[in-house]
């Protein structure tokens, strides 16, 4: 069984998804979960793009020890040097350096000749190899690159010290047949190809990212680059969970395996979805709500008689539990902590106490506490902003079908003063947001509002996601509560606090790198 290295780029290419802005705590929590999942390489960001990205990449590299952490760099000496400063404390320092190789990119974007591109690539790899034990080189837009030139530049960068060669389908243009031909051509026409691992990175613009990744593996790729839930630039990347499960279920065909801890897939998917605000479609393969649902009577009858009639993937394989009640209102701290640790909790005692208090409050209102509920409470308590400038003290909403909805909010403001304000709206949520806008005393544009339940039942926890433009900056916010109006208020306040934190610590990201 051939081992395929998993290169996860959720924190770099995934965060380039439109509208996604992760703060430091969120990036670190995703990084820790990816480590539990067992990815081989984790691309933590683009260190040279901003001070904030440098700091988060460095912190992740210094913390994560069970997989290799890497950062992106252009073929620019300053990018390479900055990446080294961010990554030198990792368990296995690795750099991901790239340059475009297709005719259209060389002519219109780089304005360089093919000889100049080869020289720049070789110089960048040599500088990288002098610092890093592992150097990955990427031929941006490889799928639209002329094959003889691709073979020429690959041979040159391997001689310069590249240990991994990545051939991306940057714009999601190619087909499984074509990408298979490209990998076979490189294997047959690059004399020193045995000195490097071939890698594949595919975008999903034509809906073929996963199929192209699997075709590349069939034709020599020993590493696959992907993201959780397939998030990423434009239509996204190849979905990690789909590739991993496909290789497992069809190991008879592919004769390859990732070695991932597959039971962590569902939890990793849920965490990424929650923190990015990108909802997983119900019909999404492997991790969607309907992935293991059977509506047809014929299918139901078959599954009851033998699951393998219509169920090729068991829910347990990817960590989907029965979601039964796991704790109750009489559960003690010890049992509660044990369950949180099982769910991946690695916080401090103060965070544990906050989660336990929230759990007790929820248990007074909700009969059955599920794993999903605990996971939501854990995320809410451990991933707050570094500083909460505005804090909700109390909320009251008056609503009637023949009355004008009115919201009264009591809140602690940055000066630590407690103030109270009220406003009306055409609906309860609008009344709340009009009130909060008065307290913040600045125009806020609500660009997106989404609400969903954490679990089933009338007493389910509500989770609200918002996108706002505050003080000229777009920001997202999340809120979880037993009451949908309280969750709505929390999400709005969270978005405001995130905006202030982004301004204060100057961590606005450059989001125009695309490989």
Calculate the average pLDDT of the chain. Answer: 90
Model pLDDT, residue 382: 64
Bridge-based pairing of strands 462-470 and 444-453 is antiparallel
The per-residue pLDDT for range 487-510, each reduced to its tens digit, is 999 999 999 998 888 777 544 444
The pLDDT confidence band at residue 301, using thresholds 50, 70 and 90, is low
Model pLDDT, residue 512: 45
Model pLDDT, residue 508: 45
The pLDDT confidence band at residue 324, using thresholds 50, 70 and 90, is low
Which two tokens mark 363? Answer: 């248990």
Mean pLDDT of 447-466: 87
Model pLDDT, residue 341: 83
Distance from C-alpha of 445 to C-alpha of 473, rounded to nearest angstrom = 10
Query: Please, what's the largest Cα pairwise distance for the chain?
Result: 80
- Give the CATH class of 2-276: alpha beta
Which two tokens mark 79? Answer: 């990018």
- Global pTM reads 0.87
Model pLDDT, residue 330: 76
The C-alpha angle 467, 30, 13, rounded to 5 degrees, equals: 70
3-state SS, residue 471: coil
Model pLDDT, residue 334: 84
- Distances 191 to 121, 196, 419 between C-alpha atoms, Å: 18, 11, 72
The C-alpha angle 141, 12, 171, rounded to 5 degrees, equals: 25
Tell me if 25 sits within 8 A of 244, measured CB to CB. Answer: no
- In the chain, domain spans: 2-276, 333-382, 391-505
Distance from C-alpha of 147 to C-alpha of 416, rounded to nearest angstrom = 64
Distance from C-alpha of 262 to C-alpha of 245, rounded to nearest angstrom = 8
CATH of 391-505, one of 3.40.50.2300, 3.40.190.10, 3.10.300.10, 3.30.160.270: 3.30.160.270
Q: Does position 92 have pLDDT exceeding 60, yes or no?
A: yes
Q: What are phi and psi of 200, to 5 degrees?
A: -125, 140
Buried-state track 109-128, b at ≥16 Cβ within 10 A, e below 16: ebebeeeebbebbbebbbbb
Model pLDDT, residue 68: 97
The per-residue pLDDT for range 369-388, each reduced to its tens digit, is 877 788 888 877 766 555 67
Of the spans 327-331, 405-409, 504-508, which averages the highest pLDDT? 405-409
Q: Does position 335 have pLDDT exceeding 90, yes or no?
A: no
Which two tokens mark 42? Answer: 């984790």
Picking from 166, 249, 228, 177, the residue whose alpha carbon sits closest to that of residue 202 is 166
Model pLDDT, residue 280: 92
Model pLDDT, residue 261: 97
**Residue 204 CB-density burial (10 A; 0-12 exposed, 13-18 middle, 19+ buried):** buried
Sequence-distant (6+) residues with CB within 8 A of 490 are 392, 464, 477, 478, 479, 480, 481
Distance from C-alpha of 502 to C-alpha of 126, rounded to nearest angstrom = 36
Model pLDDT, residue 264: 95
| Of the listed ranges 147-156, 230-239, 351-360, 412-421, the one predicted with least confidence | 351-360
DSSP H helices in 130-239 = 147-160, 176-189, 209-218
Mean pLDDT of 121-139: 98
The per-residue pLDDT for range 246-287, each reduced to its tens digit, is 999 999 999 999 999 999 999 999 999 988 989 899 899 999
């Amino acid at each position: 069984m051939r081992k395929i290295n998993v290169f996860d780029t959720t924190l770099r290419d995934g965060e380039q998804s439109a509208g996604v802005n992760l703060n430091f705590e969120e990036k670190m929590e995703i990084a820790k979960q990816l480590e539990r999942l067992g990815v081989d390489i984790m691309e933590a960001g683009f260190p040279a793009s901003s001070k904030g990205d440098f700091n988060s990449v460095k912190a992740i590299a210094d913390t994560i020890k069970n997989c290799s952490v890497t950062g992106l760099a252009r073929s620019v000496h300053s990018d390479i040097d900055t990446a080294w400063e961010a990554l030198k404390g990792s368990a296995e320092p690795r750099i991901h350096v790239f340059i475009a190789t297709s005719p259209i990119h060389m002519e219109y974007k780089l304005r360089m000749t093919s000889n100049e591109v080869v020289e720049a690539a070789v110089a960048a790899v040599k500088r990288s190899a002098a610092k890093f034990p592992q150097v990955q080189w990427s031929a941006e837009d490889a799928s639209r690159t002329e094959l003889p030139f691709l073979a020429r530049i690959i041979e040159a960068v391997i001689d310069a010290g590249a240990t991994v060669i990545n051939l991306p389908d940057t714009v999601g243009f190619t087909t499984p047949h074509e990408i298979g031909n490209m990998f076979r051509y490189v294997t047959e026409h690059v004399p020193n190809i045995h000195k490097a691992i071939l890698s594949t990175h595919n975008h999903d613009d034509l809906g073929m990212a996963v199929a192209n990744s699997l075709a590349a593996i069939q034709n020599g790729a020993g590493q696959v680059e992907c993201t959780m839930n397939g998030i990423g630039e434009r239509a996204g990347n190849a979905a990690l969970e789909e590739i991993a499960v496909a290789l497992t279920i069809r190991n008879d065909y592919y004769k390859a395996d990732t070695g991932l801890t597959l039971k962590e897939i569902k939890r990793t998917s849920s965490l990424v979805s929650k923190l990015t605000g990108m909802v997983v479609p119900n019909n999404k393969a492997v991790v969607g709500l309907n992935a293991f649902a059977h509506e047809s009577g014929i299918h139901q009858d078959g599954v009851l008689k033998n699951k393998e009639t219509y169920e090729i993937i068991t829910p347990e394989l990817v960590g989907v539990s029965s979601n039964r009640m796991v704790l109750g209102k009489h559960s003690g701290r010890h049992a509660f902590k044990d369950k949180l640790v099982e769910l991946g909790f690695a916080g401090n005692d103060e965070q544990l106490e906050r989660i336990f208090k929230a759990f007790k409050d929820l248990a007074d209102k909700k009969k059955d506490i599920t794993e999903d509920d605990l996971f939501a409470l854990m995320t809410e308590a451990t991933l707050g902003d570094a500083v909460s400038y505005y804090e909700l003290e109390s909320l009251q909403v008056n609503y009637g079908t023949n009355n004008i909805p009115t919201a009264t909010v009591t809140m602690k403001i940055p000066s630590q003063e407690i103030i109270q304000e009220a406003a009306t709206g055409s609906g309860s949520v609008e009344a709340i947001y009009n009130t909060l806008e008065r307290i913040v005393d600045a125009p806020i544009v609500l660009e997106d509002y989404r609400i969903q339940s954490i679990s089933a039942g009338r007493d389910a926890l509500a989770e609200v996601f918002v996108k706002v433009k505050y003080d000229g900056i777009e920001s997202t916010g999340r809120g979880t509560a037993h009451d949908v109006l309280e969750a709505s208020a929390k999400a709005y306040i969270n978005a405001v606090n995130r905006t202030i934190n982004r301004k204060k610590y100057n961590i606005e990201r450059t989001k125009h790198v695309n490989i």
